[in-house]
Structure 1
Amino acid sequence: MEERMISFDLSRLPEKFERNGLTPKCLSTVVNQMKSSGQLQPVSHYQKSNGWLLWGFNTLVKQPVFWGVTQLIGSPKKDSDVFVCPDVVKVIAAEILEIHQSCVKFSVVDSFVSLAQLKQSCQHLIREDKDFDIILTHLERANHIALSQINSGDVVVKFRREGESRVSFEEIDFNIYSIKMAVEKLEKEIDSLTSRIDRHLLEAKANVKEGRKKMALMCLKRKASLQKLMERKMGSLTMLHEIMQKIEEARTNEMVVRACEAGVGAMKALNQEVTAEQAESVMEDLDEAMATQEEVNTVISSPISTTEEEDLERSLEELLREESEEQIVKKSHFPPLPSFKPGSKYSVPEADTITPEEDDIAAAFLNLDIDDLGLPEVPSHSRHSNSDQHRKRETHSPAFMDPAS
């Protein structure tokens, strides 16, 4: 499993890479390269400073000069040279923020937590106190949390709420934190009272089984007294929960008011750019354009006049009459007859080459009857009787007689 080291002592670093009594010789070279690239920072970079001026001096002036001197003359001998891994610090800090967000029920009240509670909830991520201080310093510089000490001596951590640009303590924050502490204390007392009530009830049942009625009655009296005390504390707890709910609503109302103020400012700025006279002029132009468009639509959709419709009907009748005359001419014209010339094939003459005489001959040919052709009559006997007579004539013919006879 990969060990996420927040900080380490450079003098003890070879022990972590020792295998079979051997350590890598290039370890110091790798560490120097990581320091020069910013992947390692001295622990003094994460120490508490009196202000941003001192922190900026240490970050921008002291550390670069110290690194340059160590590159020239070598690092001075120290009993302890502790360095921090900034990438690991950022990852663990992000995980702490996620843990806090998962526990938030009221955005205002739950933004406060004691340092002891925060350390306990992050115990599985950070094992050593010095590493926990490094993470807190990083979160504070990144403007995610603010730290303050109250009158009781406890250190309070305030997380930045959603929508806030910066986090800092105000007088009202300590009052809200007191309400939260009272709620947590009452919840613990109610849990303790519940356990004591259940224990007295079990003792009363045990005494009844053993026949000790007076002891059982005493246990029931204690149970009843604790029951009344618990009911009073539950009433107080309910009242404090209602106060917390009201605080949350007030916070929401504050956000709404600020949003309305921003909206009013934006509307005022826009109204300065667009005046009422400009809006009125634009609306008049819009009405005029819409009226013009309506007139165009009326003209386009108006029906055709009676005079134009009568002219169209007369044109249609004239076209129909011309079409009818063309059909009559086509029906009265006969198709041309083929012409034949000796020694040539039949060919269909063109309509323009037909003479009036040829046209009369074709008409006479069409009026002919079959009787006018003078063809012989068709015999009435059958084909079989005709063939018998023909065979008889052949047998009596001299051409078929035997020459010897």
Structure 2
Amino acid sequence: MNCDSVREFVKREVPDWDDEVVATARFKAFSGQRSDWELRYHLWKDLILKVARHFGLFIIRPSQVKEWFNRDGLTPLCIDHVLLIMYNEGEIVRVSDLADPTSGRLSQILKKVRLLMFRPSTAEEALEDNLVLSALLKDKALEVVKHLSESNWTSSCIATLKRFGEICGGRDEASAVLSYLSGCGKARYLCNRKKEVIEGVKVSLSSDAISGITSLDCDVLHLVWTTEKLQQQLDVIDRRYEKSRSSAVASLRSGNKKVALRHARELKLASESREKCVSLLNRVEEVLNAISNAESTRKVSEAIQIGARAMKENKIIVEEVEHCLDEIDESIESQKQLEKALESASSTSFEDEDVEDEFRKLELKIENENLQVESGSKSPIQQSDASETAASLSSALSSLRLVDQADENETDKSEQSIRKNTPETRVLQAEFA
């Protein structure tokens, strides 16, 4: 990991990082009561976690952390104190304090007792080893389990320790993740010592705790190891085939037929070796698939037996179960119909509210028009025409409030009668439209 990229990230996270006055106060050692430097402690702790999470780290070195925040040759004087507080509060664990999943149960218990009795108290003792960030270790363990579940559809899976280390990102990272998962009861270390030592991991991919190690698990580990070895051999054969092919083509172009013929024989041998390797690989994968299918069948059978036992204990007959399922289906269908009815009703009420708002606006406008007509100097004939117009319009709009989409024909008739009145009515009708 490049320190320059870390410093650029820190500058983006802390806008006033280059401020001399603020940086001088921030880089000072902690002194006095905890309340005096509590805010600075949380700032440094959050910054350490942000940097580690951004660059995909959960194992850090104290000297590495100091180098992250190096500013013109100056490092924070409080970093050791921050790491010590995080260690005492359980947010950081030393790599040497992690339980070794490859050891026996008794040795793990003795190690925990020793740590409780002889816990380091000074920063020099606590920070002499690499440190594991507990929160990020948990996130990494969940990420590894998710990665394994994407390629396995069973409740648990077995992987070689080498493959597990590749997924975790390294040997030390794999040891830390396996230690955490073992402590949670989600993984177990297993070893097959029949012909040669084969180390592996059994991981639970469900919410249940991992079951104990059986002889079948050791056999599956051997098959998985064989699959990886055959795949590696297949990759070597493919590279050798491509190399021989390129050499044969180059020899033909240069006119050297004898060398080209020799490379052609190598191509033939590589092709035959590849066919044999692919055949063996397919056979091993078929055996692994058969074991996975057998495990799934066994779980289904166990579930059926548990269900039958529960029905027998509670004296439930099959007809009652079928009747209950039918009632559930009917309830679901009724609920769907009710939801559809509520949706249609809500849309209708929304339209009625819009019409009522528009009606109130028009009523106010008509009242204003009537006041203007009464105060004006029109003839009695014009006043009677205006009153008749207002009365007919008010009657039409009153009927509009109670009319829905089913009574559109009656509304059209009212509008036709209004259109026969004076030009003032036509203006109001245009505004209403």
C-alpha distance in 1 between matches for 2:72 and 2:83: 22
Select which of 77, 96, 100 maps to 1:48.
Answer: 100
Instruction: Determine if contact 1:159/1:167 at 8 Å carries over to the other structure.
Output: no
Instruction: Determine if contact 2:99/2:179 at 8 Å carries over to the other structure.
Output: yes
Select which of 292, 305, 309 maps to 1:248.
Answer: 292
C-alpha distance in 2 between matches for 1:143 and 1:154: 22
C-alpha distance in 2 between matches for 1:42 and 1:217: 61
Instruction: Determine if contact 2:244/2:264 at 8 Å carries over to the other structure.
Output: yes
Residue of structure 2 in register with 1:183 after alignment: 227
Instruction: Determine if contact 1:207/1:215 at 8 Å carries over to the other structure.
Output: yes
Map residues 324-335 of structure 1 onto 2, 5 A cutoff. none
C-alpha distance in 2 between matches for 1:161 and 1:30: 36
Residue of structure 1 in register with 2:386 after alignment: none
Q: Structure 1 residues 255, 17: CA separation in 2 closer, same or farther (over 3 Å shift)?
A: same
Residue 238 (1) aligns with residue 282 (2): yes
Shift of 1:12: 8.1
Residue of structure 2 in register with 1:148 after alignment: 190
SS at match of 2:91: coil
Q: Structure 1 residues 89, 202: CA separation in 2 closer, same or farther (over 3 Å shift)?
A: closer
Select which of 138, 144, 148 maps to 2:180.
Answer: 138
Shift of 1:170: 1.2
Q: Structure 1 residues 52, 218: CA separation in 2 closer, same or farther (over 3 Å shift)?
A: closer
Instruction: Determine if contact 1:148/1:157 at 8 Å carries over to the other structure.
Output: yes
C-alpha distance in 1 between matches for 2:237 and 2:305: 49
Residue of structure 2 in register with 1:101 after alignment: 149
SS at match of 2:314: helix
Higher-RCO chain (CA-CA 8 Å, sequence separation at least 6):
1
Amino acid corresponding to residue 173 of structure 1 in structure 2: D
**Greater mean deviation of Cα atoms: 23-32 or 38-47:** 23-32
Residue of structure 2 in register with 1:345 after alignment: none
Q: Structure 1 residues 33, 202: CA separation in 2 closer, same or farther (over 3 Å shift)?
A: closer
Q: Which consecutive unaligned segments of at least 5 residues does structure 1 have?
A: 280-405
Amino acid corresponding to residue 238 of structure 1 in structure 2: N
Residue of structure 1 in register with 2:158 after alignment: 112
SS at match of 1:3: helix
Shift of 1:254: 0.9
Select which of 133, 137, 140 maps to 1:89.
Answer: 137
Amino acid corresponding to residue 101 of structure 1 in structure 2: S
Amino acid corresponding to residue 137 of structure 1 in structure 2: S
C-alpha distance in 1 between matches for 2:213 and 2:59: 30
Residue of structure 2 in register with 1:399 after alignment: none
Residue of structure 1 in register with 2:427 after alignment: none
Select which of 207, 229, 233 maps to 2:273.
Answer: 229
Instruction: Determine if contact 2:227/2:281 at 8 Å carries over to the other structure.
Output: yes
Map residues 318-397 of structure 1 onto 2, 5 A cutoff. none
Q: Structure 1 residues 80, 183: CA separation in 2 closer, same or farther (over 3 Å shift)?
A: closer
Instruction: Determine if contact 2:189/2:202 at 8 Å carries over to the other structure.
Output: yes
Q: Deviations over 1:344-365 (max 9, x none)?
A: xxxxxxxxxxxxxxxxxxxxxx
Q: Which consecutive unaligned segments of at least 5 residues does structure 2 have?
A: 1-8, 10-50, 321-433
Shift of 1:21: 5.4
Instruction: Determine if contact 2:186/2:209 at 8 Å carries over to the other structure.
Output: no
RMSD over aligned Cα, in angstroms? 3.9
Amino acid corresponding to residue 100 of structure 1 in structure 2: L
Q: Structure 1 residues 263, 155: CA separation in 2 closer, same or farther (over 3 Å shift)?
A: same
More helix by share: 2
SS at match of 2:206: coil
Amino acid corresponding to residue 177 of structure 2 in structure 1: I
Residue of structure 2 in register with 1:295 after alignment: none
Shift of 1:94: 1.8
SS at match of 1:162: coil
Residue of structure 2 in register with 1:312 after alignment: none
C-alpha distance in 2 between matches for 1:191 and 1:275: 58
Residue of structure 2 in register with 1:174 after alignment: 218
Q: Structure 1 residues 20, 112: CA separation in 2 closer, same or farther (over 3 Å shift)?
A: same
Q: Structure 1 residues 221, 161: CA separation in 2 closer, same or farther (over 3 Å shift)?
A: same
Q: Deviations over 1:364-405 (max 9, x none)?
A: xxxxxxxxxxxxxxxxxxxxxxxxxxxxxxxxxxxxxxxxxx
C-alpha distance in 2 between matches for 1:27 and 1:205: 62
Sequence identity percentage:
20
Residue 3 (1) aligns with residue 52 (2): yes
Amino acid corresponding to residue 91 of structure 2 in structure 1: Q
C-alpha distance in 1 between matches for 2:78 and 2:280: 66
Q: Structure 1 residues 222, 262: CA separation in 2 closer, same or farther (over 3 Å shift)?
A: same
SS at match of 1:111: strand
Instruction: Determine if contact 2:94/2:126 at 8 Å carries over to the other structure.
Output: no
Instruction: Determine if contact 1:11/1:81 at 8 Å carries over to the other structure.
Output: no
Q: Deviations over 1:190-224 (max 9, x none)?
A: 33333433443444444444444444334333333
C-alpha distance in 2 between matches for 1:240 and 1:256: 25
Residue of structure 1 in register with 2:167 after alignment: 121
C-alpha distance in 2 between matches for 1:24 and 1:194: 53
Q: Deviations over 1:270-293 (max 9, x none)?
A: 11xx699xx9xxxxxxxxxxxxxx
Q: Deviations over 1:121-167 (max 9, x none)?
A: 332xx6xx545433321121112221123222342112114375324
Instruction: Determine if contact 2:198/2:225 at 8 Å carries over to the other structure.
Output: no
C-alpha distance in 1 between matches for 2:137 and 2:267: 52
May I ask how many residue pairs the two structures share in their alignment? 263
Amino acid corresponding to residue 225 of structure 2 in structure 1: M
